[in-house]
A = this chain, B = another copy of it.
Amino acid sequence: MTEKAKRKSKIAGKQSVLFTNPPYIIAGAGVAGKKEGEGPLGSLFDIVKEDPMFGKKNWEDAESELMKEAAQEVLKKAGMKSDSIRYLVGGDLLGQLIATSFGIAELNIPMFGIYGACSTMGEAMSLGAMLVDGGYAEKVMSLTSSHFAGAEKQFRMPLDYGNQRPYSATWTVTGSGAVIIAKDNHKKAGNNEADIVIAGLTTGKIVDYGIKDSMNMGAAMAPAAFDTIKQNFEDLDVKPDYYDKIITGDLGYIGKNILIDLLKEKGYDISSNHMDCGIEIYDKDSQDTHAGGSGCGCSALTFTCYIMKQLRERNWTRVLFVPTGALLSQVSFNEGNTVPGIAHAVIVEAV
């Protein structure tokens, strides 16, 4: 980063924030479904559940249970009770955020419900980091979830219908990830792992290239990821190699190519350090998930269980984490509207 970006204000450029005293991510936890547990990252998840109903009677209650377990697990890993958390910032893909409302109600934490489609983890971590850095909270929990069957019911076809899925379609991840963001670090003595901090943010705008195919959300979201990543480079006056990894949420195979091409046109080559959570979470050859994984849980699970591990072990030092969201509903799709995208970038560092 050049001196241009090192200003006294927390504000960097048009859409970014750089924290003078970056807040810590003191714990992360992920709870995954069976299919995700069988994928390449399966062994890293804190909890893998065999029962897709999570012991409940419907998909929505199942997702609430999933989120509740992620919240409980992250509290356990941090050695805290829920009354240590001043704010909860979270959301999901279901209309009116019912997975979140019913999942976290009994934690009894003041709550900001948010919706950014599959970019929600980026939005939750951005707001969480600012609430902590701004002095409004010692600790904030940011979390989100998605459930394959609930999402299919919400956005696509009833599962019983057994319709075929085009190769451009992604597979909604059944999973929930939660982090605790804190002002102070709680490192155990003798622990040699790196601490993880949120060094900055670039908040996304709604970007709409006119894509109308809800079975090709990678194409719908790639322009938003492009817009946010390009803005991050400009606001910080950095090049792609400033980051060890630039990690999008759920662009999948199609969206990844579009993103790399769009950035190349602007003179930025991220082909060697780009990674997409939707590509990492399933095995392309054996899991029949077509364009890759998607859903709020996709980036949240990958972040809490894989990306945080790479940072803790100092395999990576600086990551641009960019969850990506497609802002459609079944109603907007049925009315012939486009699928606008949004992407929120979080700069995460090992220190």
Does chain B have a CB within 8 A of A166? no
B109 touches A96 (CB 8 A): no
Does chain B have a CB within 8 A of A287? no
Bound Cα distance A136, B201 (Å): 10
Given contacts A127-B112, A331-B60, whether A135 and B11 have CB atoms under 8 Å apart is yes
Contact residues in B for A113 (Cβ distance below 8 Å): 114-116, 123, 327, 342
Contact residues in B for A11 (Cβ distance below 8 Å): 86, 135-137
Cβ 8 A contact of A206, one of B86, B101, B135:
B101
Contact residues in B for A93 (Cβ distance below 8 Å): 96
Does chain B have a CB within 8 A of A185? no
Contact indicator per residue, chain A 97-122, by CB within 8 Å of chain B (1) or not (0): 11001101100111111111100000
A203 touches B87 (CB 8 A): yes
Contact residues in B for A331 (Cβ distance below 8 Å): 60, 94-95, 98
B330 touches A205 (CB 8 A): no
A94 touches B329 (CB 8 A): yes
Copies in the complex: 2
A135 touches B135 (CB 8 A): no
Bound Cα distance A101, B331 (Å): 13
Does chain B have a CB within 8 A of A340? yes
Cβ 8 A contact of A111, one of B101, B203, B208:
B203
B112 touches A58 (CB 8 A): no
Contact residues in B for A329 (Cβ distance below 8 Å): 94-96, 98
Does chain B have a CB within 8 A of A9? yes
Does chain B have a CB within 8 A of A335? yes
Which residue from chain B places its CB closest to the CB of A17 in the assembled complex?
B136
Contact residues in B for A315 (Cβ distance below 8 Å): none
Interface pairs A-B: 8 shortest CB-CB: A95-B95, A134-B134, A96-B329, A110-B203, A105-B206, A101-B327, A98-B332, A113-B115
User: What would 26 A/B residue contacts be, using CB atoms closer than 8 Å?
Assistant: A10-B134, A10-B135, A11-B86, A15-B86, A60-B332, A60-B335, A61-B335, A61-B337, A93-B96, A94-B331, A95-B154, A96-B117, A97-B115, A98-B331, A101-B206, A101-B327, A101-B340, A110-B205, A112-B123, A113-B114, A113-B115, A113-B123, A113-B327, A113-B342, A130-B134, A133-B134
- Chain A residues proximal to chain B, CB less than 8 Å: 9-11, 15, 17, 58, 60-61, 86-87, 91, 93-98, 101-102, 104-105, 108-117, 123, 126-127, 130-131, 133-137, 154, 203-206, 208, 327-332, 335, 337, 340, 342
